[in-house]
Structures are given as structure tokens and as C-alpha cells.
Amino acid sequence: MLVGLVSMSAASASDVEVLHWWTAGGEAAALNVLKEDLQGQGINWNDMPVAGGGGESAMTVLRARVTSGNAPTAVQMLGFDILDWAGQGALADLNAVAAKEGWDEVVPQALQAFAKHDGKWVSAPVNVHSTNWVWANKSVLDANGIDVPATWEEFEAALAKLSEAGVTPIAHGGQPWQDATVFDAIAMSTGGPEFYKAAFVDLDEEALGSDTMVEAFRRMEVIRANVDDNFSGRDWNLATAMVANGEAAFQLMGDWAKGEFLNAGLVPGSDFLCFRFPGTQDQVTFNADQFALFDQGGDVSAEQAALASAILSPSFQSAFNVVKGSAPARTDVSDEAFDVCGKQAIADLANAASTGNLYGSMAHGHAAPASVKNAMYDVITAHFNGVFDAETAAAELVDAVSIAK
Ligand code: BGC
């Protein structure tokens, strides 16, 4: 009873309770920008962090909270999960704030497709990340005479050279979402954008079971052969640290990795390098973090409106994304404050959007609903750990997707 009273008085009307998975150093630094913004407006931030990159654990906690009738005010969410909760009528209607601030005009269509449901804005887009990046330790590359590889073949040659020199070529964390993040880039590079869309967005059986998919799995075996012995279960930010401190040459990871390098005091271009995964220079496989606002039983609350408005403000979009490693979720934010990787992220995104090369990330919930995504994770991870060979993996992918969809 006492506990109940204490927790009730701790959550006052001007609180927002925010469930998120931004627990790594660079992520927490970015989140602070938002916390401070709201605290400056007299809104108290109740933090509800659930560790686990990609957000699977956070989504499990969310389901438990909603089931017990105690949804948080705001929840970090990706792609199809937003549409799923909106379809269940769980999210607040943000149309008033969106109309007042003109979100329709400045948020890219690719994001609106996940932020709106049945003509209603239901979430506030924070950023645009993308998964087809490689992060490299510059001194390690220089010491081994390696240039930024432009093709898969050049990348393979670089891996072989590093391996021979006794350097761990790739820092990887063996967790299903990280294996899948790598697969986003490998599949795009192996088969190109039409193949990527057919397999991951359209869930076309022919593409899922094709020779191209078999080749993509073969390339995953090359990645597997170039990670260290302790990769299994490693968190993504620890893999980033291996590149940062020169224990490994490359990490294949979304641009939240840049937040970690920056948080460690490293400088892009001189300490570390960012480049698109070889063979995907024109493409962007994106995921956008959004804050979905749960319906608290009536109109959107003043705190929820303030949170949404703070997130979409151009100054916040610049300040937050500079730290987080992502591009802004608005098309009208200057790239001036961004470093060389951030400027590239913004330019790549605009080019990809205007040339039909922008695709939702399979690994981060922007290509297909969670049931399909999880089915793909299982196959990709089983193959990565040697349970299936490449041919079997492609066949298993066809089956798993047909059961899940
Ligand atoms: C999110 C990023 C986050 C990363 C690792 C991704 O799904 O979009 O914001 O930094 O997971 O936690």
C-alpha cells in the first residue's frame, strides 16, 4: 500500500514516462538532449530503459505493460511495430500538433508511411538511421595498406590481408538482430535493390529461395570466418569499442555506431572512417526511431504534445542527431552542425529517396511485420552459427516466411 502511494505521488500530471532501449554510452548522451529539452519546459522525465539493441526486449516489456493496463506515456518504436499498435487503437491522435507544426510538409514520405495510420499521426519521428554502413579504424587500415573497399571482392581481399597480418578483420556481436543487420547490407550488395525489395518487402518466394539468396548466405559465411572467437552474444557497442581501440578493423553496423565513436572522443575521417557497405553505395536501408504516444484515455495529454513538438523541432533534430549518428527526420534541417559521416548520411538519404534507392531495413522492422522479421532472424542466426549451409538456409527462409506471414 505504501509502495503504491509512493509510486503514485512520484508520477505527477506533468511527467512523461518514456520506454526506450538507448542504454549504450552514445545513445544515452543523445537521449540527454531530449531529457534536458523537456525538463527545461518543466516536464519531468521518468526513464524506463530496457537494454537490448534493436529493441526486441523493450517490445516484450511494452506488451506486458499494456496487458496490465499500464502503458507508458511514450515508447521508442520502429516501423511496423508502430502500425501494429496503431491498428489496435492503442496510440494517441497527434493530428492537432502535426497540423499546427506542418509535419506533413517536412517529414519524408518514407517515414510518414510508419508515423501515420488511417490518416492520423500516431508517433513522432526522431531520426533516420541506416544499416548499410561499415565503420573502420583508420590506423589499422593504414598500417595494413588497405584503402576503403568499393566492391565485395575488394572487401574480401581486405579481410584476407588483415587476417594474414594477425588482426581481427571484423568486430561482430553474435546476437540475432546484429546478424540480421549485417544481412541487410550483404543481401543488398549481393542482389541489388530489386532483389532486396522482392525478398524482404514483398516476401516473394522466388527471391527468398533464389541462387542470389544462396550467394548472400555464402557471403555471410565469409563474414563469419572473419570474426574473433568471442563474438557470440557480444553487445554491439562492445564490438564498436573493438574497432575504436584498434582490436579489430571493421564493424558492419547502423550509424548508431558513430554515436559510440564520438562518445569515446574519436574523430571521423582521422580516427575512424565511415563508408557504405561495398556494393551499396547508392542505396540506403533505413530505420527511423519514433516515439509512439500511447492513448492515456482521451485526448493527447499536454505532456505528450510537448514531447512530440520538442522532438520535431528543427533545433532538436539537429542537436540530437549530431550526437546520435543519425540523419534528421525532417528534410529542412541544415547539415552544417554535422560531421563528415553525418553530412554523408543526410546526402545519401536525399539521393536514395529521389532515385528509388531507399528501402526499409529488414533487420530493424521497416521491411515486414515483426512475425516475419523474427522468422528471418531465426534462419539468419542459425546459418551464421553453422546450423544450416547456404542452400539449406535459403530453403529454410522460404518456409519460415511462409509460416510467419
Ligand atoms: C535503433 C537505434 C539504436 C540501435 C541499437 C536500433 O534499432 O534504431 O536507435 O541505437 O537499435 O540499440
Give residue-wise pLDDT tens across range 327-355.
Answer: 999 999 999 999 999 999 999 999 999 99
Residue 50 Cα, ligand 1 centroid: separation in angstroms? Answer: 12
* Mean pLDDT of the 74-97 span: 97
Say how far apart CA 12 and CA 222 lie, in whole Å.
54
250 lines ligand 1 (CB under 6 A): no
365 lines ligand 1 (CB under 6 A): no
Contacts of 69 (CB under 8 A, 6+ apart): none
Q: Whose CA is nearest to atom 7 of ligand 1?
A: 54
Q: Kindly give the interhelix angle for 25-40 and 302-312, rounded to the nearest 10 degrees.
A: 120
Atom of ligand 1 nearest to the CA of 24: 12
pLDDT band per the 50, 70, 90 thresholds, residue 14: confident
Give residue-wise pLDDT tens across range 177-221.
Answer: 999 999 999 999 999 999 999 999 999 999 999 999 999 999 999
41: pLDDT strictly greater than 80 = yes
pLDDT band per the 50, 70, 90 thresholds, residue 2: very low
138 lines ligand 1 (CB under 6 A): no
Q: Whose CA is nearest to atom 12 of ligand 1?
A: 53
Per-residue confidence (pLDDT) for residue 6, from 0 to 100: 38
Contact criterion met (CB below 8 Å) for 362 and 200? yes
Strands 284-287 and 248-252: unpaired
1: pLDDT strictly greater than 70 = no
Q: Whose CA is nearest to atom 2 of ligand 1?
A: 256
376: pLDDT strictly greater than 50 = yes
Atom of ligand 1 nearest to the CA of 288: 8
The single-letter code of the amino acid at 103 is: W
Say how far apart CA 330 and CA 317 lie, in whole Å.
8
Residue 34 Cα, ligand 1 centroid: separation in angstroms? Answer: 16
Per-residue confidence (pLDDT) for residue 5, from 0 to 100: 39
Q: Whose CA is nearest to atom 5 of ligand 1?
A: 53
Contact criterion met (CB below 8 Å) for 13 and 42? no
Residue 54 Cα, ligand 1 centroid: separation in angstroms? Answer: 5
User: What are the CA-CA distances from residue 387 to residues 221, 264, 362, 384, 392 (Å)?
Assistant: 12, 37, 22, 8, 9
Per-residue confidence (pLDDT) for residue 298, from 0 to 100: 79
Burial class (CB in 10 A: 0-12, 13-18, 19+), 274: buried
How many helices (H) and strands (E) the chain has is answered by 19, 15
256 lines ligand 1 (CB under 6 A): yes
Say how far apart CA 337 and CA 284 lie, in whole Å.
22
Atom of ligand 1 nearest to the CA of 53: 12
Give residue-wise pLDDT tens across range 281-315.
Answer: 999 999 999 999 999 887 899 999 999 999 999 99
Say how far apart CA 335 and CA 317 lie, in whole Å.
11
259: pLDDT strictly greater than 50 = yes
Q: Which three cell numbers stand for residue 112?
A: 510518414
pLDDT band per the 50, 70, 90 thresholds, residue 29: very high
26: pLDDT strictly greater than 60 = yes
Say how far apart CA 9 and CA 222 lie, in whole Å.
56
Contacts of 285 (CB under 8 A, 6+ apart): 130, 131, 132, 184, 185, 188, 196, 359, 360, 361, 362
- The torsion angles phi and psi of 347, rounded to 5 degrees, stand at -65, -45
Per-residue confidence (pLDDT) for residue 12, from 0 to 100: 57
Q: What is the pTM of this model?
A: 0.96
9: pLDDT strictly greater than 80 = no
Per-residue confidence (pLDDT) for residue 4, from 0 to 100: 40
Say how far apart CA 364 and CA 77 lie, in whole Å.
10
Is residue 405 helix, strand or coil?
coil
Say how far apart CA 269 and CA 364 lie, in whole Å.
27
